[in-house]
Chain A
């Protein structure tokens, strides 16, 4: 596509600024591309009505962009692209110009419109929650190249590199060298002497460097030791209560800390943990993801 001039590409882009033409009405903005293409008037009008209905802007066709709200402007920009029936629609940070309160609503709406028209949307975003919530597939990019491509669940649960693991969500990384590797099980020792078991075979001989990552919500905190294979004792250093969840930082022996998320299922807080409490942190072997060093 690099050699094809922009006006001949079967791809459309929704700009971050929406780039609506301020001197044209909503209707004229929407049919701009069709007019440029020389589509007959009757067909243009049909597309216009279809698009206005799709983005729920019926009756606003004669308004000018400066008479619309931010959300309405975004829908005009979307309609303007969709009437072109592109093979792929590129959306450049579509939520960036919207209030935080509007975003969730617009995300839902955008996803709904996408389901209805079936066009492939490529949505560029820096907001990982938005990426997770809206997409069927996520491509994580670093330094201009795609480092992992998969469903949100794949990318979150089985990140392929340390970059992806820490870019998308929070993760506890244990770096060390491989001690033993049997079918379906690897054992890793960190420099500070922790031994981690992961239910995942790693290609590589003993002594090879590698890393293991564990998501904070898979770490279990308890006052008593558990039967889980990866169990360590430590002290709660910091605990922030966020309503549904609490985020805690537990210091193990030495410099290592582990992040753990606690679900606040006990509304009275009777057994609530607090900073300074001695606890055990543990996670099952299945929760540990082996990453290349």
Chain B
């Protein structure tokens, strides 16, 4: 293979984003990773230096306390578990609602598609917090949903939705839906209508067409949309805090508490690093897999 030669201009062009990534992604990540090995100290910042020995001698003063706590204390283990399950359920909910939505938009008349996409992402234009509070109002015991059901006689006691895991899931699916719908729509919109017509022409019933043509060809969109939802959902802090219960702690909440309440920076850094690792492994595996599946050119 001939090695491509880069000119000075090429190198400089690459150097700009490269410098950006090193300065604002790699270095902060490394400093968080380093922080996780520090010991706690009663100082500002609340950590002991990593290299410090007695009598001014230089010695490594690393601590594995963070990693031990994270791997041994059931509180942290269960918070990781809660975060992952919650994110998985959120992604599943987004697929269930978002796929039909994106499909319907992609098959609607071309001149109306942009309007529908706009409507799908319109909630983004208002503050995220405002929308979360609006949901709290809707699902509280005295909120419109319960009062309508009560007045219709469907229920005799208000259903407790707010401050339950179900409320967390509901609001999370609602908030993350556009992240799924957009990439899904992008893939479905490119799906040639000819292929569906050809399948139907060859005697395939609509359900068979969906299973053998639509679904396999939209898999790359489903996967990239699900990753876009799953990754930020794992560390979600605000929604569980607002509408969830304190009994199911999520990673985001634990991290916040350790950093701001307990001022245990090394432990908070450890949680962040472990979360990062937990997310990177499945994301990389999925990428490899879609790389193979996604090689299908339309």
Interface membership of A158, Cβ < 8 A: no
Q: How far is the CA of A171 from the CA of B204 in the complex (A)?
A: 47
By a CB distance below 8 angstroms, the chain B residues around A81 are 202
Checking A6, A9, A13, A21 against B195 with a beta-carbon cut-off of 8 angstroms, the contacting residue is A21
- How far apart sit A227 and B197, CA to CA, in the bound complex (Å)? 61
B194-228, CB under 8 A of A: which get 1 and which 0? 11011111111100100011001100000000000
The 8 A CB mask of A14-43 against B (1 = contact, 0 = none) is: 010101011100000000110011000000
- Answer whether residue A231 sits at the interface, using C-beta atoms and an 8 A cutoff: no
Residues A84 and B203 in contact in the complex (CB < 8 Å), given A22-B217, A36-B208? yes
A19–B194 touching, CB < 8 Å: yes
With the chains together, A21 CA to B215 CA distance in Å? 12
* Cα distance A7–B210 in the bound complex, in angstroms: 14
A109 and B192 alpha carbons, distance in the complex (Å): 28
> Which B-chain residue is minimally distant from A66 (CB atoms)?
B297
Minimum CB–CB distance for B154 against chain A, Å: 39
Most central of A8, A19, A84 by chain B CB within 10 Å: A19
Set of chain B residues within 8 Å of A73, measured between Cβ atoms? none
Residues of chain A lying within 8 A (CB to CB) of residue B1: none
A33 touches B202 (CB 8 A): yes
Chain A residues whose CB sits within 8 angstroms of the CB of B216 once the complex forms: 23
Q: Are A19 and B192 in contact (CB under 8 A)?
A: yes
Closest A residue, CB atoms, query B206: A7
Contact with A along B53-90 (1 / 0, CB 8 A): 00000000000000000000000000000000000000
The majority secondary structure among interface residues of chain B is: helix
* Chain A positions 61 through 75: 1 when the CB is less than 8 Å from some CB of chain B, otherwise 0: 000101000000000
Please indicate the chain A residues that have their CB under 8 angstroms from the CB of B197 in the complex: 6, 15, 19
- Inter-subunit contact B194/A6 (CB<8 Å): no
- In this complex, how many residues of chain A approach chain B with their Cβ under 8 Å: the count is 22
B271-298 residues at the A interface, CB under 8 angstroms: 296-298
Residues of A with C-beta under 8 A to B205: 7, 36
Find the A residue at minimum CB distance from B208.
A36
Q: Do A22 and B204 form a contact, CB below 8 Å, given A15-B197, A17-B192, A32-B212?
A: no
Q: How far is the CA of A84 from the CA of B217 in the complex (A)?
A: 24
* Residue A187 interfacial (CB < 8 Å): no
Let me know if A6 and B192 touch, CB within 8 A: no
Q: Can you list, as one digit per residue, whether each of A42-84 has a CB less than 8 Å from chain B (1) or not (0)?
A: 0000000000000000000000101000000000000011001
Chief secondary structure at chain A's binding surface: mixed
Max chain A C-beta neighbours (<10 A), residue from B200, B201, B204: B201
Set B200, B203, B208, B213: member contacting A21, Cβ < 8 A? B213
Q: How far is the CA of A15 from the CA of B197 in the complex (A)?
A: 9
CB distance from B209 to the nearest CB of A (A): 8
B33 to chain A, nearest CB (A): 41
- A15-B203 contact, Cβ under 8 Å, with A21-B213, A22-B217: no
Residue of A nearest to B196 (CB): A19
Q: Are A22 and B198 in contact (CB under 8 A)?
A: no
Q: Verify A33–B217 contact, CB threshold 8 A.
A: no
Asked whether any CB of chain B lies closer than 8 Å to the CB of A248, the reply is: no
Are A12 and B298 in touch, CB under 8 angstroms? no
Closest to A10 in B: B203
A19 to B217, CA, bound (A): 13
Task: Flag if B202 contacts A23 (CB, 8 Å).
Answer: no
Measured between beta carbons, the chain A residues less than 8 angstroms from B204 are: 7, 32-33, 36
Complex A-B, nearest 9 residue pairs according to Cβ-Cβ distance, in ascending order: A33-B202, A19-B198, A36-B204, A19-B194, A6-B200, A23-B296, A22-B296, A36-B203, A7-B203
Q: What residues make up the interface of B, taking CB atoms closer than 8 Å to A? A: 192, 194-195, 197-205, 208, 212-213, 216-217, 296-298
Residues of A bordering B, CB below 8 Å: 5-9, 12-13, 15, 17, 19, 21-23, 32-33, 36-37, 64, 66, 80-81, 84
| Known interface pairs A7-B203, A9-B201, A15-B198; 16 further A-B residue pairs with C-beta atoms within 8 A, sorted by A's residue number | A6-B201, A7-B202, A7-B204, A13-B201, A15-B194, A17-B192, A19-B197, A21-B198, A21-B199, A21-B212, A23-B217, A32-B204, A33-B203, A36-B205, A66-B296, A81-B202
